[in-house]
Amino acid sequence: MILCREMQESDIPWIAELEKENFSIPWSEASLSKEIYNKNSVFIVAEYEGNIAGYAGMYLIGTEADITNVVVSRLYRRNGVASAIINKIKDYAKSAQITEITLEVRVSNIPAIKLYEKYGFLSEGIRPGFYDFPKEDALIMWNRNISDC
């Protein structure tokens, strides 16, 4: 069973490790800690069988939201963790009266792109050279009607 909830201070060391495992430029524990107290952000943690399996961050800007990252531990992929996280983000956004959500994803990350498309996100552009290590373009995706996803 997957449980999704808001990030707590005690989650930060685990999440920082997920960042290091998955990103060439990971968020630090200090940066993650600041987000707990940022009224314009929400970070969701997914637990699978009692272990932190993934998380996502989202900034709230008026009636829009920007997903900063979605990551699932390699140990828990293909178990529905990412879908559970996206569903929790969607539910949170609806309760916060968010109407549109955007995100960027590496153009080579086909599994993530397919996941986002499943939840109503559509490609609306490219940010050339957005990512480093390796340098890569970002696909800009939007879901402009989250009540439909």
Q: How far apart are CA 116 and CA 82, in angstroms?
A: 10
Sheet holding 122-131, edge to edge: 2-6, 41-48, 51-61, 64-72, 100-106, 136-143, 122-131
Helix and strand element counts for the chain (H, E): 4, 7
Residue of 19, 35, 47, 104 with catalytic role: 104
Q: How far apart are CA 149 and CA 141, in angstroms?
A: 14
Residue of 116, 117, 131, 136 with catalytic role: 116
Assess whether 116 carries a catalytic annotation.
yes
Which positions are annotated as active-site residues?
104, 116
